[in-house]
Amino acid sequence: MIGLTLSCDDEDVVGPLTGSLAVTTATSGTNADVDGYTIQIDSEQPAAIGSSATVQFSDLTVGDHTLLLAGLAPNCTVAGENPRTAIITAEVTTPASFEVTCSE
């Protein structure tokens, strides 16, 4: 008979606690905002994003994060909630999109 013993030194095995976020903007309409916008995650420093672009953020902690799209021209509006919540999952890239419409 062969015996087998496994030991883990009384430590819990913890998987990755970070994920990624891909934020996309899509701008339509006339007189569009050509200089782009900023995207802010929680209270972090805002990052630049084009008016129709995708920006990737990595190493975000798992859980809820608040996304705010700012820097819009006065004639442009965001569809849906702004700010909005993105739920980050470990080892997954979570998509988030902002549809912006500009008028004259």
Which tops the pLDDT comparison, 12 or 36? Answer: 36
CB-CB contact of 46 with 36 (8 Å): no
Cα angle, residue 103 at apex, residues 50 and 27 outer, rounded to 5°: 25
- Cβ density class 53-65: b for 16+ within 10 Å, e for less: eeeebeebebeeb
CATH class, domain 18-102, is mainly beta
Tokens describing residue 58 = 């990595």
The confidence score (pLDDT) of residue 23 equals: 98
pLDDT averaged over every residue in the chain: 89
The confidence score (pLDDT) of residue 45 equals: 96
For 48, left (φ over 0), alpha (ψ -120 to 50), or beta?
A: beta
The confidence score (pLDDT) of residue 1 equals: 47
The confidence score (pLDDT) of residue 33 equals: 79
Over residues 16-37, the pLDDT tens digits come to 799 999 999 999 998 887 889 9
